[in-house]
A and B are shown apart, each in its own frame.
Chain A
Amino acid sequence: MPGSDDLTALWITLQLAAVSTLILLVVGTPLAWWLARTQWRFRFVVEAMVALPLVLPPTVLGFYLLIALGPEGPIGSLMEALGGQPLAFTFSGLVIGSVVYSLPFVVQPLQNAFSAVGRRPMEVAATLRASPMDRFFTVAVPLAAPGFLTAAVLGFAHTLGEFGVVLMIGGNIPGSTQVVSIAVYDHVEALDYTSAHWLSGGLLLMSMLMLMAVYALNRRFLVVRL
């Protein structure tokens, strides 16, 4: 049986993935829309920055985030000046790390989906009296729906499987910042294979169910899109 620390780790992992995905969709949607539409000649710089977490070792990313979020870093000291706590080794810090780490997995599918929608449907909506905001929500978003689904799932799943960044900036505080992937690592280190089995099996089952649900849904979306 999994211990209470393991269940807490699972709960924290799910919370982290859900909150990060939500924030990623809110931040990623306007960014992806802008990237899909802008004619700005330096767009590639922004695209490269968004894609950076894909190639950077998570420990490197985590190291810089630790510096930035710690009491001496720009974000950490800003938080302290505002009367708050430095963000390193807190759940909020984990969320920030996850958002940065999973950004390309959300922005790229959205950007592709918005590019595929193209300008024409938006022009049609404009000639049908829809204001820019109106046509974004009533035309671009529904037409890009499969992209949103892909983005949400990839963002969620990627955060779920995160290890290096969390280890660097969250440490490994059971009941506060310990997530499943790190708990499994700890159990294996301690040769407690039973607990490792419980946790790993649980995560495996959950991920499989989630992905199956998504692919089943996505098939329906494709039928609608034809």
Chain B
Amino acid sequence: MSIELAFRLDRGDFSLDLSLALPGAGVSAVFGPSGCGKTTLLRIMAGLERSAVGHLRVGGRTWQDVNQFVPPHRRAVGYVFQEPSLFPHRSVEGNLRYGLRRSQGNGDNSRLEQSIELLGIRHLLARRPHQLSGGEQQRVAIARALAMEPALLLLDEPLAGLDEARRHEILPYLERLHRELVLPMIYVSHSREEVARLADHLVVMDNGRVQAEGSLTDVFARLDLAIAGQPGAETVIEGVVDDYDPRDGVVRVNSDAGPLHAVLGQLETGQPVRLQVQARDVSVALTAPQDSSILNVMPARIEDLAEQGAGHVMLRLRVGDAVLLARVSRRSARELSLQSGLEVHAQVKSVALLG
């Protein structure tokens, strides 16, 4: 199953023109500045923007093309709006059952139970929406969409309206959905952190157009995009826990970049993990350092480099099958004569566990 779409929309001051093929599983993040058309794209997919012209096929079913327009209430879609949007005249349970009853009758409660469990909202069922915090409301709204067993879950910046603490309260639930459900999700966000933690596939939008698209690791490492030019630029590497040394707490992760060592706390062998490497924590050396305190030193090749600000150069390194960003000073780049194609040794000072 996959999601194919192509749409055009013209609203005078804003136009959207894009075509995409998104994977039928996992999280596809749509990333971009506000006003770039991310939300409009989601609304088009849900059938809430009738003036958009184009086609949309989800898992072999056509939701929209030249000849037909499936109205929003007949699309197997779950939509989580930026603000929680619970019905104030219904209890939490009444909210959850509203979509459930209309999508599959009253018979099957298993998906409802699963949604309640996944979002941890069992203790809230009897409450009214106004008695919940913003974060709780948003968890209920996500569960409400999930309970209908949609073919596609659309999330429109579900954390944007929340403060930092609430955001970190909900992120683990979203990561859990990602791990435990095969349901394809499209996650609109302008937050790097959310994208790094949740996305498998990434679409970068700007001004109603698709600027870049691909796997998260590839797109994050592209130097021609603004996304790599930010000071907090990082690379995301996925791997599997291979070993845990109880003497000093060092975990060895088999990743696409080769074995990585880091102090991440105790992890189960065989557990899949998502690691984050900050570009500023990666340095390069022309010869392999002999007696360094840095745990991870790996042979690498410089694939690309771009100047960043007045004093820095961002390098894209190929390490094994993975890509790492490294941020070095412009002086080092000059003195070491760093250039594309050069073989170096990448030193990774710090690796963080995402989620």
Cα–Cα, bound, A171→B130 (Å): 54
Residues of chain B in range 294-314 having any CB-CB distance to chain A below 8 Å: none
The total of Cβ contacts below 8 Å across the A-B interface reads 62
Contact: B73 with A131, CB < 8 Å? yes
17 contacts between A and B (CB under 8 A): A123-B48, A124-B87, A125-B73, A125-B98, A127-B75, A127-B79, A127-B99, A128-B145, A129-B99, A129-B103, A131-B73, A132-B73, A134-B102, A135-B73, A138-B98, A145-B89, A225-B88
Question: Which B residues between 261 and 288 are near A, CB-CB below 8 angstroms?
Answer: none
Q: Is A41 an interface residue (CB 8 A)?
A: no
A124–B102 touching, CB < 8 Å: no
Q: Would you call A128 and B85 a contact (CB within 8 A)?
A: no
Q: Is the CB of B87 within 8 A of A129?
A: no
Digitize A125-146: 1 where CB-to-B-CB distance is under 8 Å, 0 elsewhere.
Answer: 1111111101100110011010
Give Cα A225 to B88, complex, Å.
7
Interface residue tally for chain B (C-beta within 8 Å): 24
List residues of A whose CB falls within 8 A of some B CB: 120-121, 123-132, 134-135, 138-139, 142-143, 145, 224-226
Q: A121-B85, A226-B130 are in contact. Are A128 and B99 (CB under 8 A)?
A: yes
Q: A143 CA to B98 CA in the complex, in Å?
A: 15
Known: A120-B81, A129-B73. 10 other contacts (CB 8 A): A120-B85, A121-B85, A124-B79, A127-B75, A127-B79, A128-B144, A128-B145, A132-B73, A135-B73, A224-B88
Q: Which residues of A contact B71 (CB under 8 A)?
A: 126
B residues neighboring A (CB under 8 Å): 46-48, 71-75, 77-79, 81, 85, 87-89, 98-99, 102-103, 130, 144-145, 148
Contacts of A121 in B (CB 8 A): 85, 87
Q: How far is the CB of A130 from chain B (nearest CB, A)?
A: 6
- Chain A residue numbers with a CB within 8 Å of B47 are 126
- A130 and B73 contact, CB distance less than 8 A: yes
Q: Which residue of A lies closest to B48 (CB)?
A: A123
Tell me which residues across on chain A come within 8 A of B46, comparing CB atoms. 127
Chain B residue with Cβ nearest A145: B89
CB distance from B5 to the nearest CB of A (A): 17
B73–A126 CB distance below 8 A: yes
CA distance A120 to B81 in the complex (A): 9
Taken together as a complex, chains A and B put the C-alpha atoms of A130 and B103 apart, in Å, by: 9
3 closest A-B pairs by CB: A128-B99, A129-B102, A127-B79
Contact between A127 and B87, CB atoms less than 8 A apart: no
**What residues on A are CB-neighbors of B75 within 8 Å?**
127
Q: Once bound together, how far apart are the Cα atoms of A124 and B81, in whole Å? A: 8
* Bound-state Cα–Cα, A6 to B346, Å: 101
Smallest Cβ distance from B156 to chain A, in angstroms? 11
Residue of B nearest to A224 (CB): B89
- Within the complex, the shortest CB–CB distance from A211 to chain B, in Å, comes to 25
CA distance A226 to B130 in the complex (A): 7
Measured between alpha carbons, how far is A143 from B103 in the docked complex, in Å? 22
CB contacts (< 8 Å) of B89 on chain A: these are 142-143, 145, 224
Q: Does A128 contact B102, Cβ atoms closer than 8 Å?
A: yes
The answer to whether B130 and A129 touch across the interface, beta carbons within 8 angstroms, is no
- Distance, CA A128 to CA B47, complexed state (A): 12
CB distance from A113 to the nearest CB of B (A): 13
